[in-house]
Structure 1
Amino acid sequence: MAADIDEQPAGYERLLSAEYATPIARLAGIVAERRPRHVVFTARGTSDHAALYGAYLSEIRLGLPAGLASPSVVTLFDARPDLSDALVVAVSQSGGSPDLTEVLRAARDSGALTLAVTNAPDSPLAATAELSVDIAAGHERAVAATKTYTAELLALLMLVEGIRAGDGALPAEERRALADLPELAARTLTDPVPDQLAPRYRFASQLVTTGRGYAYPTAREAALKLMETSYLPALAFSGADLLHGPLAMTDPEVPVLAVVGSGPGGRSMGEVLPRLGERRADVVVVGSAEIEGTTRLVVPEVDERYAPLLDILPLQRLALALALTRGENPDAPRGLKKVTATR
């Protein structure tokens, strides 16, 4: 898991190279030409959080309604929604989930434009889709996904921004900003604080993660990483939903990881953090925002769209360090396999 985490800056650089960026731009141009009226994502597990990020991008950057499909609608209930005006995007590191493949097949039969985002370009999922994006993350050693998750994020970002451009070609300013990501990621991974925090949570019985907007997928992915590597019950809430009831469970014995950036989503967390303070919750802030009186996992400030590519890095390292501190093996969590086949 440590090796997979450390390879992410190189993975960003590889995906941004012409070898992979050019095909993504070409596919973005095809999607833009087809002019879908809405976007439907389908995914499972870690990839579901990448898909949620894609949904935020689609609605904010493209102005298209977007949502996450329930694969069981197709696979268990044998329903066939009319997706004739939709772009249907399946996100899967392995491309081997039968339910996602079946959703794409049904969507394509109904007239949808289908696209697979996967680390396995020869997989059944990629073969079923009309279009396919190779996230080029390379072999992932650990069961817990790290570098494939961030590669999915970057691929979706490049795809959506290419669609927004119309012809798939990113504006020069966008290209320059993305080109900084590998170096910023490498810098983020040098922060010693995640390793220092692990003993603080060694005996925690539960934990809460929270964020809003683009940060919400990060909160959900961080919770999953903690659960699957340390077996620590972790509940993820949007900052808004946290105030609608779950706030009551927070107290000095329930750690809270709050993802707080410098954009609108981060600023909105200004309503949440004081309420957590009233509960005397043990809060650690993750991101570029400076919050007085809190422990921080510091991340370089970038456009809020890019922040999920950096914010998750110290949280992956925290999950790794906490698993080791609790005497667990993060490379092979009990009961889990790299490819989970569901229907």
Structure 2
Amino acid sequence: MFAEAAEAAGVVRAQIDANGAAVQALAARLRSLKPRAVATIARGSSDHACTFAKYLIETRLGLMTASAAPSVTSLYDGNVGMAGVVCLAVSQSGKSPDLLQAATAAKAAGGFVVALVNVEDSPLAALADAVVPLRAGPELSVAATKSYIAALSAITHLVAAWTEDAGLMQALNSLPEQLEAAWAQDWSAGVKALKSAHNLFVIGRGVGFGVAQEAALKFKETCGLHAEAFSAAEVRHGPMALVGPGFPILAFAQNDESLAGVDELLAEFAGRGATVLAAGASPQAGVTALPSPGADAAIAPIVMVQSFYRMANALSVARGFDPDRPPHLNKVTETV
């Protein structure tokens, strides 16, 4: 896990270079298609990448973006109309049975299927109308790291080209350097605070929410630590009743319209005596800042999750786990 996560900057640099022409051509095709909506198809870490895609696409393109549940087709034999819909299928392996069935059904129902996939000769790539290779290379650790970051960067690349947004493309081109800086950040305060924890909330909002989901999954997978991800807005609807003295919170905050609300929430948690760790939030009393290099708000969550992966690996070891061999898990989950 440690070695693969450390490769992320190089993976993203090579991906941007290799995918440039193909992404531009796909973006031109999407502009000509003028889709009415976007549907995402994914599981696990890839589904968390799709949460990032939802916020980026809806805020930059104004296209409704929703997750298509694979079980609707794989279990219930449902038939959802996909005419005029771009279907983003995101996967590391490209061979999970329910994912393949959902993508096949989406295509048969009139959807335009775009596969963002790491294994380029996979069944998913073969059935898709267009492929954006993740180019993460072999990933042996059960816990996805570099392939997750590669999915986020590929999504950003596609949206930047689709919208012809020079600012977003500039931010993307800075991402490899930002990831290198993120890998060098010291998040050991998180290891110290969470070594003996039993539960925690992971908070994000907007494009940062998918990273909060991913972090919560990694805590469960690699650290044996029960974590739940919440939007900084949604956590106020009941879950924050659990937050009191010593309750651990990890927050991801990017410098956009969501920042003021996240800062306000963290101040309230700190006022209750919670153990609050935050990356990207404004400095304030009672909140332990986890350092993060300054980055454009659109890519800041990608940068922060790179620092998180290093911390999660260290926390796993500190809690007596093997981060490369989580109990009861396999690299490819063949859900039906």
TM-score (norm 1): 0.94
Q: Which runs of 4+ in 1 moved over 3 A?
A: 173-176, 288-293
How many residues of Structure 1 are paired with residues of Structure 2 in the alignment? 336
3-state SS of paired residue (1:87):
strand
Mapped pair 1:211 → 2:204? yes
Cα offset, 1:103, TM superposition: 1.0
Counterpart residue identity of residue 34, structure 1: L
Q: Give the aligned partner of residue 58 of structure 1.
A: 57
Structure 2: give runs of 5+ residues left out of the alignment. none
Instruction: Quote the offset at 1:315 in angstroms.
Output: 1.5
Q: Which moved more, 1:37-46 or 1:276-285?
A: 276-285
User: 2:157–2:172: 8 Å Cα contact kept in structure 1?
Assistant: no
Superimposed CA distance per residue, residues 114-165 of structure 1 (whole angstroms, 9 cap, x where no aligned partner): 1111101110111111111101011112110000001000101111121112
Residues 39-64 of structure 1, C-alpha deviations (whole Å, 9 max, x = no match): 00010000000011111111111110
Residue from 174, 191, 194 that aligns with 2:185 = 191
Aligned-partner SS, 2:66 = strand
Alignment partners' CA distance in 2, 1:278 and 1:116 = 45
Structure 1 runs not aligned, ≥5 long: none
The amino acid that maps onto 2:8 is: Q
Which letter maps to 1:131? A
Report what 1:47 is aligned to: 46
What value does the CA root-mean-square deviation take over the aligned residues? Answer: 1.4
- DSSP-derived class of the 1:56 partner: helix
- Checking the alignment, whether the CA contact within 8 Å between 1:29 and 1:163 is kept in structure 2 is yes
Q: CA deviation at 1:293?
A: 4.2
- Give a deviation string over 1:186-207, Cα, whole Å, max 9, x none: 1111112x23431332211111
SS at match of 2:132: strand
Q: Which residue of 1 aligns with 2:306?
A: 313
**1:292, distance to aligned residue in structure 2 (A):** 4.3
Question: 2:120 aligns to what?
Answer: 121
Amino acid at match of 1:13: R
Q: Which letter does structure 2 place at the counterpart of 1:154?
A: S
Structure 1 residue aligned with 2:175:
181
Quick one: distance in 2 between partners of 1:175 and 1:277?
A: 37
SS in 2 for 1:342: coil
Match of 1:15 in 2: 15
1:239 and 2:238 aligned: no
Alignment pair present for 1:28 and 2:27: yes
Shift of 1:267: 2.3
1:137 aligns to 2:130 (yes or no): no
State the alpha-carbon separation in 1 of the partners of residues 149 and 41 from structure 2.
17
**Secondary structure of the residue that 1:264 maps to in structure 2?**
coil
Matched, 1:112 2:111: yes
Task: Give the superposition deviation at 1:288.
Answer: 5.8
1:294 pairs with 2:293: no
Are the counterparts in 1 of residues 223 and 323 from structure 2 also a CA contact under 8 Å? Answer: yes
Residue 5 of structure 1 corresponds to 5
CA distance in 2, matches of 1:215, 1:89: 19
For residue 254 of structure 1, what is the aligned residue in structure 2? 247
Deviates more, 1:293-302 or 1:80-89: 293-302
Quote the Cα distance in structure 1 between the aligned partners of 2:60 and 2:333.
32
TM-score by length of 2: 0.96
